[in-house]
């Protein structure tokens, strides 16, 4: 590759990443602005953050979001991993059926999925709240766990499993002592991804929230519709820091288990 | 023929199929049924067969909504392709260390709240936003330049939200490209341009098709972007479904529109399948 095209490559990529991150940096920057308007920068303040901790509705919806996200990631980790392991034992035809069924929730646009679940659950008379939120969130989180665990399972050397079987290991023993430990890093990464996706979901949560159980993103969305206030910036910044903490943690855990 | 041996092998899959079937299959069947029902004046669903919900789709107002959504999704696909292809292509040609940095930067937005990323554009494009501030300070413009609440604002927000999907899909196919083919092409005297058009582009077509599909589908339903950036000036399918369910209380109509949206998705998936039929192992996921 010659010099000019090399320079162009660097320029294009840098420009792209600058544009990709400017909107995010803008939000973070203005969370520290004294003026409530973005029209001018009047000085540094942490007042908006203080406001946040005094807002009971935000604290409440945050608690609900965390509860839902934790339950969702546990449920999807269990279901996704089980499905991935099961799919390696069935016939290849059935494996394709399982794959198709698991990917289905990702192929239906979120609005359509949310509306169909809303109509379905309300007919079943399920109370809208944490239960419906966890059920619906696990629906779009579980496929990721399944896919990531499956990817790892396919990399496992078949001969290890064969020799375990030759030595008289039962199917359950093979799963418990060989498969599960080998896929643990994938389970951890994908359930952290599930955690982040559940914490971030707006569309489906709009339909699944109950009268007393609004999730944080649904609440933020309703705040944003009213107008721009630095309080939203401060809240978004805190969420950003929280998510990066989760990402960092997952990277760290991954590195450790790889050693 | 019922095969006992095979059934025994496949038996553990049954609970999985039931679980997903119960949460996705049944609700969808439910929506299909509902889309043929009527509602009374209070918004309650009445069990009476009708086709009027589907007829409404062909009403000029709603046909426009379908057209807007289709246009938004297609343009989002094209824009993310044009901007994203070079990013994917250049990234694949970087040194290993720089490459993982670049991939990390492409993937990181997946972890950033989608509301925050949409809100960022309000901060940037608003009448008192960053861009207008800078332009006014530099005396390039006297009064704020209105960039919000337009079709193009929604388009920018949607493309921005979904571009990582496009880049990753293309990157995967560029990365798999057999480099010896490119060398052979150069050895035979082909120019860079010729090599790109005759070898790289056709061979990365599955990646492009995959990226397009991954961008097209969600762009139909991200109603919060058009709500926040478009201000409801242009109506999209997602907004109409959402308002019919939450405010309009016309659930059968919302159901019919959801089915319409799913049919749009199926068309795209069918086209994707056709385009990548003879390329094995290039699954969407």
DSSP string, A55-115: -HHHHHHHHHHHHHHHHHHHHHHHHHHHHHHHHHHS-HHHHHHHHHHHHHHHHS-HHHHHH
pTM summary value: 0.88
Percent of chain A having pLDDT more than 70?
98
pLDDT in tens, B48-69: 888 888 998 899 989 999 999 9
Cα dihedral A182, A185, A190, A195, rounded to 10, equals: 130
- Decide: helix, strand or coil at residue A54: coil
Mean local confidence (pLDDT), B9-34:
86
The answer to whether the CB atoms of A12 and B87 lie below 8 A apart is yes
Residues of chain B with C-beta less than 8 angstroms from the C-beta of A89: 9, 12
Distance (Å, rounded) from C-alpha A43 to C-alpha A93? 64
Counting one residue from chain A and one from chain B, the pairs whose CB atoms sit within 8 A come to 209
Q: Is A15 on the interface with B (CB under 8 A)?
A: no
What domains can be seen in chain A, in order of their start residue? 55-258 (1.10.3720.10)
Residue A104: closest CA among B210, B111, B170, B266: B266
- The mean pLDDT value for A61-86 works out to 94
The confidence band for B281, taking pLDDT boundaries of 50, 70 and 90, is very low
Q: What is the DSSP letter of A251?
A: H
The verdict on A82 touching B (C-beta cutoff 8 Å) is yes
Which SS3 state, helix, strand or coil, does residue A213 take?
strand
For B45, phi and psi rounded to 5 degrees? -80, 130
C-alpha B203/C-alpha B156 separation (Å) is 29
Query: For residues B165 and B110, what is the distance between their CA atoms, to the nearest angstrom?
Result: 9
Q: What is the DSSP letter of B46?
A: E
Beta partners for residue A33, in sequence order: A44
Q: Give the rounded percent of residues in chain B with a pLDDT score beyond 70.
A: 96
CB contact under 8 A, B115 and A89: no
Residue contact B123–A39, C-beta within 8 A: no
- The answer to whether B12 contacts A90, with C-beta atoms less than 8 Å apart, is yes
A20 shares contact with chain B (CB less than 8 Å): yes
Shortest distance between the Cα of B243 and any Cα of chain A, in A, equals 11
- How much is the mean pLDDT over chain A? 89
Q: Give kind and range of the element (H or E) at residue B19.
A: helix B13-20
- The better pLDDT of the pair A11, A158 is held by A11
Residues of chain A found within 8 Å of residue B124, distances taken between Cβ atoms: 22-23, 26
At A137, list the tokens.
């969130």
Tell me whether residues A97 and B13 touch, CB distance under 8 A.
Answer: yes
CA distance A70 to A173: 29
Domain map of chain B by residue range? 60-275
State the number of CA atoms in the 13 A half-sphere of A162 facing the CB.
Answer: 4
For chain B, percent of residues with pLDDT exceeding 90: 44
The closest of A190, A213, A191, A216 to A202, measured between CA atoms, is A216
Chain B residues whose beta carbon lies within 8 Å of the beta carbon of residue A123: 30
Rounded to an integer, the average pLDDT of B158-166 is 96
More confident residue, B2 or A193: A193
Q: In chain B, what residues touch A86 (CB-CB under 8 Å)?
A: 12-13, 16
Closest chain B residue to A144 measured between Cα atoms?
Answer: B285
Radius of gyration of chain A (CA): 23
Q: Residue A168: what pLDDT?
A: 86
Whether B222 sits inside 8 A of A110 (CB atoms) is yes
* H/E element, B45: strand B45-46
| Residues of chain B contacting A139 with CB distance shorter than 8 Å | 20, 23-24
CB contact under 8 A, B17 and A98: yes
pLDDT exceeds cutoff 50 at B76: yes
DSSP code, position B23 = I
* Helix (H), strand (E) at residue B26: helix B26-34
**Cβ-defined contact of A247 to B111 (cutoff 8 Å):** yes
Q: Could you report the per-residue pLDDT of A110-166, keeping only the tens digit for each?
A: 899 999 999 889 888 888 989 999 999 999 999 999 999 999 998 888 888 888 888
pLDDT of A11 higher than 60: yes
Q: SS3 helix, strand, coil % of chain A, rounded to 5?
A: 80, 0, 15
B245 CB neighbours in chain A (<8 A) are 115, 118, 207
Measured in whole angstroms, the distance separating CA A253 from the mean position of its chain's CA atoms is: 17
The mean pLDDT value for B68-94 works out to 95
Pick the CATH number of B60-275 from 3.30.70.141, 3.40.190.80, 1.20.120.80, 1.10.3720.10: 1.10.3720.10
Task: Determine how many CB atoms are found less than 10 A away from the CB of residue B151.
Answer: 17
Q: Which positions in chain A touch B261 (Cβ < 8 Å)?
A: 109, 111-112
- From residue A34, alpha-carbon distances to A25, A30, A46, B32, B116 in Å are 17, 9, 8, 52, 20
Please state, in angstroms and rounded to a whole number, the distance separating the CA atoms of residues A120 and B234.
Answer: 30
- What residues contact residue B36 under an 8 Å CB cut-off, 6+ apart? B49, B50, B51, B53, B252
Q: Is the pLDDT of residue B284 over 70?
A: no
């Amino acid at each position: 590759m010659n010099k000019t095209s090399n320079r162009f490559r660097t320029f294009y990529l840098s420009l792209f990443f600058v544009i990709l991150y400017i909107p995010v940096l803008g939000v973070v920057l203005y969370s520290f602005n004294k003026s409530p308007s973005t029209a001018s920068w009047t000085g540094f303040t942490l007042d908006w953050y203080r406001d946040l901790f005094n807002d009971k509705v935000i604290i409440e919806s945050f608690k609900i979001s965390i509860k839902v996200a934790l339950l969702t990631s546990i449920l999807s980790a269990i279901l996704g991993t089980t499905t991935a392991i099961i799919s390696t034992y069935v016939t290849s035809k059935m494996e394709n059926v399982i794959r198709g069924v698991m990917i289905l929730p990702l192929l239906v646009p979120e609005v359509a999925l949310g509306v169909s679940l809303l109509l379905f659950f309300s007919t079943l008379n399920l109370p809208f709240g944490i239960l419906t939120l966890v059920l619906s969130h696990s629906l779009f989180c579980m496929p990721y766990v399944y896919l990531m665990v499956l990817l790892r399972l396919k990399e496992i050397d078949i001969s290890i499993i064969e020799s375990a079987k030759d030595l008289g290991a039962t199917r359950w023993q093979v799963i418990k002592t060989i498969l599960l430990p080998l896929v643990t890093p994938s389970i951890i990464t994908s359930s952290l991804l599930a955690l982040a996706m559940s914490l971030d979901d707006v569309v489906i949560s709009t339909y699944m929230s109950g009268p007393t159980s609004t999730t944080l993103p649904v609440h933020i969305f309703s705040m944003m519709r009213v107008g721009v206030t630095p309080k939203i910036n401060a809240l978004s910044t805190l969420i950003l820091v929280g998510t990066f903490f989760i990402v960092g943690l997952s990277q760290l855990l991954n590195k450790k288990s790889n050693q | 023929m019922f095969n006992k041996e095979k059934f025994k092998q496949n038996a553990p899959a049954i609970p999985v199929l039931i679980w997903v079937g119960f949460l996705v299959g049944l609700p969808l069947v439910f929506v299909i049924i509902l889309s043929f029902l009527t509602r009374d004046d209070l918004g309650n669903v009445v069990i009476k067969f009708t086709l009027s919900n589907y007829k409404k789709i062909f009403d000029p107002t709603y046909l426009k909504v379908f057209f807007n959504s289709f246009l938004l999704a297609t343009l989002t696909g094209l824009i993310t392709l044009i901007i994203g292809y070079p990013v994917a292509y250049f990234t694949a040609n970087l040194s290993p260390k720089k490459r993982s940095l670049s991939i990390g930067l492409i993937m990181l937005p997946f972890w950033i709240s989608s509301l925050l990323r949409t809100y960022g554009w309000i901060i940037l494009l608003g009448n008192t936003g960053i861009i207008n501030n800078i332009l006014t300070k530099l005396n390039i413009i006297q009064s704020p330049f209105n960039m919000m609440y337009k079709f193009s604002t929604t388009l920018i927000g949607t493309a921005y939200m979904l571009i990582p999907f496009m880049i990753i899909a293309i990157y995967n196919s560029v990365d798999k490209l057999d480099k010896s083919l490119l060398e052979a092409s150069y050895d035979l005297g082909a120019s860079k341009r010729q090599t790109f058009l005759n070898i790289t582009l056709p061979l990365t077509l599955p990646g492009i098709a995959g990226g397009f599909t991954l961008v097209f589908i969600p762009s139909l339903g991200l109603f919060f972007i058009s709500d926040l950036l478009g201000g409801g000036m242009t109506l999209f399918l997602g907004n109409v479904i959402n308002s019919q369910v939450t405010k309009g209380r016309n659930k059968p109509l919302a159901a019919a529109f959801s089915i319409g949206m799913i049919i749009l998705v199926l068309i795209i998936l069918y086209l994707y399948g056709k385009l990548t039929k003879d390329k094995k192992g290039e699954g969407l996921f």
